[in-house]
Structure 1
Amino acid sequence: MEQESGSGIGRRSVLRGGALASAGLAVPSAGLTVPAVLSASGPAVAQTRSGRPAARWGVQVGDVTTSSALVWVRSDRPARMIVETSATEAFRTARRTYGPLIGPGTDFTGTAALRGLPPGEQVHYRVLLADPDDPRRTSEPVHGTFRTAPTRRRQGVRFVWSGDLAGQGWGINPDRGGYPVFEEMRRRDPDFFLFSGDTIYADGPLTGSVTLPDGRLWRNVTTEEKAKVAETLAEFRGNFRYNLLDQNLRRFNAQVPAIVQWDDHEVLNNWYPGEILDDARYTEKSVDVLAARAKRAFSEYFPVPTLRPGRTEGRVHRVVRHGPLLDVFVLDMRTYRNRNSPNGQPEDDRGILGREQLAWLKRELARSRAVWKVIASDMPLGLVVPDGATDFEAVANADPGAPLGRELQIAELLRHIKHRRITGTVWLTADVHYTSAQHYDPARAAFGDFAPFWEFVSGPLNAGAFPATALDSTFGPERVFMKAPPRANVSPAEGYQFYGEVDIDGESGELTVRLREEGGAVLFTRVLQPGRVGS
């Protein structure tokens, strides 16, 4: 087990802001149903107008660059969002940014863009909510802090990644203190968190308790919106709001910026565009309708730049530039994919990325001058992920031969990376609910026109853990490390909760990946050298 680092600068501000945001939102130790005022949809909450506005759901920061960031908040009523930033937590000299007037159209959430920030510095901020009828009446400030990306290479970068939160019936358990993994990751003091999809389980209702195999009782905090599958916009919003009931997550959000992507469970398991459901739990059978509602709620509850509240036509895929050492390429393997199938077609123009996203990714990778290019993939490449008896959900099709189906797009991308001599690509993903490291090598592959690379898998954060899946040898993966449970849907109380950590050394440029388990143990470490192929 490695020694944890300290939580760094600005702890007092973060903890003070976290305490204020926790008012009325502490995880209950008894009476596990959250009061209606906390779980109700926006319009119902807004009827309470006495006193001052309040930001009980904390603050979040997203997509931090060398000079910009996005700050998120939710109010309990209509309010004007105000963000003040300072170089110190004393706020003796503060810069004020006025955000949007937030109201029921965005479920009382708002995102403000901060620009002109100093690079490579700790930024302290506080969010105020002003009564639109009396701007002098403001909320108590909610404090947070984050570091901007450096412009000088020697500062280095550290971040964590994982996915899969509150799935398979395992929600906020007060007996475990909620989601303890977020407090553990916060203490690692990363520059940011890459949230690799399945940020909610909209198709995973929660019950008040579950009996574990050893006879122990797992208890869930429950809300009205988590009692059934999400179909309405209010129900999707309630699923995102549910996770913010956890104090660990709110404290984490106040200190660690995020880069967020989505996968399937933001809508429902294994979905694809155009799908029509045959599921008795749903009255709305069109997945396109459900996905549009989910995407809107996603854009409201995360500070995502291309999905500002009210812009449901925005896109999830993007590149976040984090200084000279790192570019993060965020993929969307949901919006543009073709239908799930046996995945053996000899031609597949749409694939899992769509032609437009694939062209964007190839272009942006070629333009990147960063030492390391992390490809944040919401699904793994060579791991076989079935969808029923005959269809496949991810890229691999369990056929070890030449690329077919969705594999054709990945082959095109890997060929492009090799022939354009793009170095420093590393694939990070989650989705399969165990942790592993795969090295891909053309010497082992049926398709050999690519340069060797690594793929690292982490998760879940607080969800069921599952046995390892098979490998598809089309791109020559070798499983160098793996930890997974022996049976399906192992609860977080039984372990197998994982996150990954990446350190990029500013002097040498070395990238170190550590696969960690909740509790702090380092399970696997790999050091990659800059500018080398497949190191």
Structure 2
Amino acid sequence: MDLTRRRLLGSAGAGAAALGLFAAGFSNGTAWASPRFPGDPFRLGVASGDPTPDGIVLWTRLAPDPLALDGRGGMPERRVAVQWQIASDERFSRVARQGTTHAVPELGHSVHVEADGLEPGRDYFYRFRAGGDLSPVGRARTAPDARTRRGDVSFAFASCQCWYEGFYTAYRHMAAEDLDFVVHLGDYLYEYGVGATAGVRGMELDASFQRETLTLADYRNRHALTRLDADLQAAHQAFPWILTWDDHEVENNWAGDIAQLDNDGLPDDTVDGFRARKAAAFQAYYEHLPLRLPQRPNGADVRMYRRLPFGGLLDLHVLDTRSYRDDQVCGDGTKPGCDTERRDPARTMLGAEQERWLLDGTARSGARWNVLANQTLIAQVDQNPDPAVLSSGLDMWDGYTAARDRLLTGLHESGAGNPVVLTGDIHRSVVADLKLDFDDESSPVVATEFAGTSISSGKDGAAMDQVGRNWLTTGVNPHLRWHNSQRGYTVLRLTDRDLRADYRVVPYVTTPGAPVETAGSFVVEAGRPGALPA
């Protein structure tokens, strides 16, 4: 386990782009030559992300005091040299790449190493060293070669992990799965105060954790609080993650440069005020997750949508349904009516540029499966069991019906290969047929939507609740195939022949240690959109 300077620097930086001092243009003061930290600087763990056939992003953040009230993690205002290694074995006897980067105070002493020169479709192990401290060892898997069609790809997707409403037991079970990667669809943290006892966690925290997050220090500390969870760290150590955000990483139901509420006394009541809040939230998000340099924010602007290929089998299209959308109509919420406003053809969910990028990319894709990592439910859902009343969730695609029509029509007319949508946000699991016309049962099915439940948000769930009964009332939403409102995650296994989705759930999250079981399994056959029970 010895990491001598000579061994580390023998091929320092070769074939790798490390986000450090010179690459990003940050502080140019003298580096801390022999750092001695007041505690373990790797308390927030390690992570990898956005795999390519020849590379991976490696992440950590130096934070010996992760919840320090100033948001600096117990670190001084100095840059620190951090050594990194990638090996083909867990004992690091066969080192594949290694180098040194710098953790700088301007980015909360986070580290993002974009390592390349690796072999496609294989496991690697990685670790960091700062001063005399060695990080935990993480495992990462590169993507299969883009020129080949690998036999199968397996991954899990998850969303909505409210720290104070439940334990992350599902992540401990996820870490034991055999997966190539994990997709996180948003709500990695929640901006609300955690409560006097930190909810079900039974902890007393500083008063700064009892208020809504607004400043960079607030967001940093809320991320750090989330990342201290051992089960979440285990899932990050086990697989590379591919992430995008939804709303709570900033504020509930934000839309573009528009805050959820105006004139509520918070400093984001103006566009400039909200952009300042977004800039703080975006920076903290980047500082705590394994994202590449193109996803580093420039103030309140960042491009999160991107495309990752996995051989010829899968193209993963990662969406951002928050940054470019129009404001919700009719005051947001769930309500009947608003048909004229919802159907306005000028309204957008993705923004014109992202919409073109998505439809052009799926049309040109040569992959067997085109999977969209999406945030809010695309399927039409009448929330009212009375057939005479159409009640819509205006934050979902139901509030942007013309944009949904453009998306589904575009996928259908372009002949995009086997489109499948993954969705988070709703704290319940739903399997749905996505149709050209949801009001016409004979209309063709364009794609299948697998909406996944929360990891912990909403506390303990149940196999069925009143919302589910309303949604599945006979004749109200005939395109909805299945529903469950327990907590957990979903595992997808793709082959050239079919895609299988297993909904893995835990019976409770308000106390730790829950077992896991499969609540439902579904198969989509290549060339035949629509899910069938497995």
* Equivalent pair of 2:471/2:477 in contact (CA under 8 Å): no
* Equivalent pair of 2:161/2:455 in contact (CA under 8 Å): yes
Residues 1:528 and 2:517 are matched in the alignment = no
Residues 1:74 and 2:69 are matched in the alignment = no
Residues 1:197 and 2:186 are matched in the alignment = yes
* Equivalent pair of 1:510/1:529 in contact (CA under 8 Å): yes
Q: In 1, Cα distance between the equivalents of 2:117 and 2:263?
A: 49
Report SS of the residue matched to 1:81. strand
Cα separation, partners in 2 of 1:266 and 1:281, compared to 1, 3 Å: farther
Residues 1:362 and 2:338 are matched in the alignment = no
TM-superposed deviation, 1:219: 2.1
Report the counterpart of residue 88 of structure 1 in structure 2.
89
Q: In 2, Cα distance between the equivalents of 1:517 and 1:423?
A: 30
* Equivalent pair of 1:438/1:477 in contact (CA under 8 Å): no
Write out per-residue CA displacement over residues 506-534 of structure 1, whole angstroms, 9 at most, x where no aligned residue: xx532101112123221111111123343
Structure 2 residue corresponding to 1:347, chosen from 344, 348, 354: 344
Report the counterpart of residue 403 of structure 1 in structure 2.
none
Structure 2 residue corresponding to 1:262, chosen from 227, 245, 257: 245
Query: TM-score, normalised on structure 2?
Result: 0.76
Structure 1 residue corresponding to 2:283, chosen from 272, 285, 296: 296
* Equivalent pair of 1:328/1:375 in contact (CA under 8 Å): yes
Report the counterpart of residue 26 of structure 1 in structure 2.
none
Q: In 2, Cα distance between the equivalents of 1:330 and 1:126?
A: 27
1:247-396 correspondence runs (5 A): 247-275=230-258, 277-278=261-262, 280=264, 282-285=266-269, 286-309=273-296, 311-312=298-299, 313-342=301-330, 344-345=340-341, 346-384=343-381, 392-396=394-398
Report SS of the residue matched to 1:142. coil
Report SS of the residue matched to 1:413. helix
Q: In 1, Cα distance between the equivalents of 2:382 and 2:165?
A: 22
Q: In 2, Cα distance between the equivalents of 1:218 and 1:365?
A: 43
AA matched with 2:120: P
Report the counterpart of residue 403 of structure 2 in structure 1.
409
Q: In 2, Cα distance between the equivalents of 1:351 and 1:338?
A: 6
Identify the range of structure 1 (277-286 vs 523-532) with the bigger mean alpha-carbon deviation. 277-286
Q: In 2, Cα distance between the equivalents of 1:376 and 1:120?
A: 21
* Equivalent pair of 2:421/2:448 in contact (CA under 8 Å): yes
TM-superposed deviation, 1:447: 10
* Equivalent pair of 2:409/2:436 in contact (CA under 8 Å): no
Identify the range of structure 1 (341-350 vs 238-247) with the bigger mean alpha-carbon deviation. 341-350
Report the counterpart of residue 489 of structure 2 in structure 1.
499
Cα separation, partners in 2 of 1:353 and 1:154, compared to 1, 3 Å: closer
Report the counterpart of residue 174 of structure 2 in structure 1.
185
TM-superposed deviation, 1:189: 2.5
Report SS of the residue matched to 2:51. coil
AA matched with 2:251: L
Cα separation, partners in 2 of 1:533 and 1:459, compared to 1, 3 Å: closer
TM-superposed deviation, 1:426: 0.5
Report the counterpart of residue 222 of structure 2 in structure 1.
239
Q: In 2, Cα distance between the equivalents of 1:196 and 1:409?
A: 20
1:387-466 correspondence runs (5 A): 392-397=394-399, 406-442=400-436, 445-446=439-440, 451-464=445-458
TM-superposed deviation, 1:51: 4.8
* Equivalent pair of 2:408/2:446 in contact (CA under 8 Å): no
Q: In 2, Cα distance between the equivalents of 1:306 and 1:270?
A: 26
Q: In 2, Cα distance between the equivalents of 1:97 and 1:447?
A: 57
Q: In 1, Cα distance between the equivalents of 2:282 and 2:100?
A: 22
Write out per-residue CA displacement over residues 28-71 of structure 1, whole angstroms, 9 at most, x where no aligned residue: xxxxxxxxxxxxxxxxxx9x963587222111111112211111
Write out per-residue CA displacement over residues 334-379 of structure 1, whole angstroms, 9 at most, x where no aligned residue: 0001111136335333411111110110111112111111111111
Write out per-residue CA displacement over residues 289-334 of structure 1, whole angstroms, 9 at most, x where no aligned residue: 2222211111111112255556443311111112221111111110
AA matched with 1:189: D
TM-superposed deviation, 1:144: 0.9
Write out per-residue CA displacement over residues 388-414 of structure 1, whole angstroms, 9 at most, x where no aligned residue: x998211114xxxxxxxx211221121
Gaps of 5+ in 2: 2-31, 64-74, 331-337, 384-390, 507-514
Report the counterpart of residue 27 of structure 1 in structure 2.
none
AA matched with 1:425: P
Report the counterpart of residue 113 of structure 2 in structure 1.
112
TM-superposed deviation, 1:441: 3.6
* Equivalent pair of 1:272/1:287 in contact (CA under 8 Å): no
Cα separation, partners in 2 of 1:250 and 1:260, compared to 1, 3 Å: same
Report the counterpart of residue 56 of structure 1 in structure 2.
43
Q: In 2, Cα distance between the equivalents of 1:267 and 1:146?
A: 29
AA matched with 1:408: A
AA matched with 1:50: R
Report SS of the residue matched to 2:528. coil
Identify the range of structure 1 (375-384 vs 254-263) with the bigger mean alpha-carbon deviation. 375-384
Cα separation, partners in 2 of 1:385 and 1:461, compared to 1, 3 Å: farther
AA matched with 2:358: L
Report SS of the residue matched to 1:188. coil
TM-superposed deviation, 1:115: 0.8
Cα separation, partners in 2 of 1:422 and 1:448, compared to 1, 3 Å: farther
Number of residue pairs the alignment of both structures matches: 447
Report SS of the residue matched to 1:64. strand
Cα separation, partners in 2 of 1:471 and 1:290, compared to 1, 3 Å: farther
